[in-house]
Amino acid sequence: MSSVTPPTKGIRHIALFVRDLPRVEAFYRDVLGYVEEWRPSERELYMTRGADNLALHATPGGDTEGDTRLDHFGLLMARAEDVDAWAVHLERHGIALDTRPRTHRDGARSFYARDPEGNRIQFIWHPPIADT
Taking the CB of residue 19, how many other CB atoms lie within 10 A of it?
14
Q: What is the CATH number of the domain that holds 83?
A: 3.10.180.10
Assess whether 130 and 79 both reside in one domain.
Answer: yes
Q: Is the pLDDT of residue 66 over 80?
A: no
How far apart CA 32 and CA 25 sit, in angstroms, is 10
55 and 85, same structural domain? no
Answer yes or no: is 5 within a domain: no
* CB within 8 Å of 106: residues ≥ 6 apart: 126
Chain segment 67-110, per-residue pLDDT in tens: 566 779 999 888 999 999 999 999 999 999 999 999 999 899 99
Residues 57 and 108 in one domain: no
Note whether 46 and 81 are same-domain residues: no
Does any domain span residue 100? yes
Total-model pTM: 0.79
Q: What is the pLDDT of residues 5-27, one digit of tens each?
A: 667 777 888 989 898 999 999 99
How far is 20 from 24, CA to CA, in rounded Å? 6
Q: 95 or 51, which is more confident? A: 95
Domain hosting 25: range is: 10-61
Amino acid letter at 64? T
Q: Do 106 and 127 share a structural domain? A: yes
Domain shared by 50 and 104, yes or no: no
Rounded CA separation 130/113 (Å)? 20
Let me know whether 124 and 79 are in one domain. yes
Number of domains in the chain: 2
Instruction: Please report whether residue 31 resides in a domain.
Output: yes
- Relative to beta strand 35-41, strand 44-49 is antiparallel
